[in-house]
Structure 1
């Protein structure tokens, strides 16, 4: 498989949904913990984190309001809400969040948008923030959404269970970006996993994510890797083994990074940051500090040109 452009830059993001969905302070503390690990961004939805592969999600907080609270408590990490609020309200609130956070806002797009909603989400003016306007994040797991994601998103998430699946999504997105006249390297692909790090430092069970088991097989073969569940790919193991899996997939060039949802929010986010991320940093695979201040800088994405800038000369 041909590595994607910029594979040396590993990108990591995490969901900071909490079981105690209405406890805003816990959400803010989770964002601060993720920033201590130098993660690119966090996501927050209107549902609590799922307990591994079991059970329905519970009602959650107003994601926009929580991340507005998190902005002054942090300095660098990207803030990406997922909300079903009315699009014009979302756009206005995100523009404010982007300015107030110094260019760290993103928008987790709903793939099931109406034509009017699409015009709203595409009609950004320069928000006055250092990054121009919020980064667009979208789920590309459903093949039916990939053409739209390739045209509009800056970050694509895909729930995949093997390097081969990730590579197939990556290639389809890059082809669709080219066909739409867009530079394929302007889109980042992150694999989405729910992670249960309750096994501490023990190696993951074969078939639950251990690359030590997978390395003996041809890339993309069966056996290792996360398992598919009703709620998406699910990894169970320890922080060390998760670091090996992340390094293995990223080095293969099939993804630009990972978006990770802790199965047990209080436990697994701490083990992710202080275990998995620390090990990746020690091995020189992930940054130890933020070289820039905006979410676009973290992701290696250019600041978008103003919609009304004239690029040609005058006659």
Structure 2
């Protein structure tokens, strides 16, 4: 079944917990939150009122993500990048160089990570230049692609790079990043936004239309082996997430194409991932 995640980027000062709860009711794998505010604090508050949905911070330091994973019972994760990873960051040991790679990528002994604290590593892989990094060290790679052919090529290349790095390619999930505008309700997708693929926009690949056609897009891409799932960024979080969960996700569930309950308790379990294994140099 496809993996689904959604951004809950409400304006600074607004509570995202309600949206996180809505995502959990829909069975989404995880939500992401970015911005300049107290991202970890907001997600920790959401963790207190949810039980299963994953919580991924997109703009914080590694120590905060490790803490989030602990307080949420193994549901935490964060964005990692080649530039941001230094010694001990997010469980990494060593430093990244553009010409090479990390001397080591492992759960470093100095971080104090316990078996219950192993945050998910999400890499923004919109730029092919970082695919090597994503394939070697990421658990989830977010790609920006405009059609199934481009998506499949990206996924196959990332999996091949993971294998070259000594990893099991099945330990990497490739999700298509898609901006969604469900303001048209049940209307068909705007021409060019559904069916063959989303339309390019300033924010990246974008879908504008109704929940039903979005469900068709998700199911179609997954059936063709183009991606492992989607990371969806609503144009209007409160409106679009409600329509995503009660429309798109409900339809996928009705067709047996998406979970109706969480079989596991941690984010890694939702994604079918184990603890990260050190890649070969």
State the match for 1:227 in structure 2. 199
Deviation at 1:141, TM superposition (A): 1.6
Asked if structure 1 preserves the Cα contact closer than 8 Å seen for 2:181 and 2:235, the reply is yes
CA RMSD, aligned part only?
Answer: 1.8
1:71 to partner: Cα distance? 0.9
Unpaired segments of 5 or more residues in structure 1? 1-8, 47-59, 212-223, 308-315
1:179 to 147, 154, 164: 164
Alignment of 1:116-127 (within 5 A): 116=87, 119=93, 122=105, 124-125=107-108, 127=113
Q: Give the CA deviation at 1:120.
A: 6.7
Question: Offset of 1:123 from its aligned partner?
Answer: 5.2
The separation in 2 between residues aligned to 1:129 and 1:181, in whole angstroms, is 23
- String of CA shifts for 1:1-44, please: whole Å, max 9, x gaps: xxxxxxxx2100000001x3211x2x111111111101000000
What SS class does the counterpart of residue 157 from structure 1 fall into?
A: strand
The residue matched to 1:148 in structure 2 has which SS?
Answer: helix
Q: Deviations over 1:156-178 (max 9, x none)?
A: 11011100111111111111111
Distance 1:158 1:114 in 2: 20
Deviant stretches of 4+, over 4 Å: 114-118, 120-123
Determine if contact 1:98/1:104 at 8 Å carries over to the other structure.
yes
Q: Distance in 1 between matches of 2:106 and 2:63?
A: 12
Q: Contact 2:93–2:107 at 8 Å: present in 1 too? A: no
Contact 2:5-2:231 at 8 Å conserved across structures: yes
For residues 1-315 of structure 1, what are the structure 2 equivalents within 5 Å?
9-18=1-10, 20-23=11-14, 25=15, 27-46=16-35, 60-83=36-59, 85=60, 90-113=61-84, 116=87, 119=93, 122=105, 124-125=107-108, 127-130=113-116, 132-209=117-194, 211=195, 224-304=196-276
Mapped contact 1:98–1:127 kept (Cα < 8 A): no
Normalising by structure 2, what TM-score? 0.88
Q: Give the Cα–Cα distance (whole angstroms) in 2 for the partners of residues 270 and 238 of structure 1.
A: 12
Residue segments in structure 2 that go unaligned for 5+ positions in a row: 96-104
Q: What is the aligned length?
A: 263
Give the Å deviation of 1:302.
Answer: 1.4
User: Over residues 248-295 of structure 1, what are the superposed CA-to-partner deviations in whole Å (9 max), with x where a residue is unaligned?
Assistant: 000001101000000011100000000000000000000000000000
Contact 1:102 1:129 in 2 (8 A): no
**TM-score, length-scaled by structure 1:** 0.79
Q: d(CA) in 2 for partners of 1:95 and 1:177?
A: 24
Bigger CA drift: 9-18 or 105-114? Answer: 105-114
CA distance in 2 between partners of 1:111 and 1:203 (Å): 40
Residues of 2 paired with 1:173 and 1:304: CA distance?
Answer: 16
Shift of 1:119: 3.5
Distance 1:141 1:161 in 2: 12
Deviation, 1:114, is: 5.7
